[in-house]
Amino acid sequence: AEYMGPKSGSKRRRTIATPSMEGEPITPLRSPISIKLNETMKSYLIDDWDLVNKQKHLPILPASISVERVINDYIERRRNEVGLVKSSCCIEVMQGIKDYFNA
């Protein structure tokens, strides 16, 4: 793996260069993903991050509410808000998140 230093004002990105790619532009491995969260969810995530990373407190497992239950509840609310057709993209993204947690 080869690291190409950051250009002025840009974030660092890891890239991989292979001999077959000589002369071709190098692209980042990952693209940034923007996820919009409501303020309640943001506060929960910030609190949890603080507990784990700064206070070294690990949550009790298994959790009383599973990731699957949270995601299914969210999908159900989205269906009621925007309808089934518009929520299909949301369902696909949420399935990806479920798969990530189950991996």
- Banded model confidence at residue 54, pLDDT cuts 50, 70, 90: very high
Whether 3 shows a pLDDT value over 60: the answer reads: no
Mean pLDDT of all residues in 3-8: 49
- Mean pLDDT, rounded, of the chain: 74
Which residue has tokens 């991050």? 49
Distances (CA, A) of 63 to 6, 47, 99: 40, 16, 18
* pTM exceeds 0.75, yes or no: no
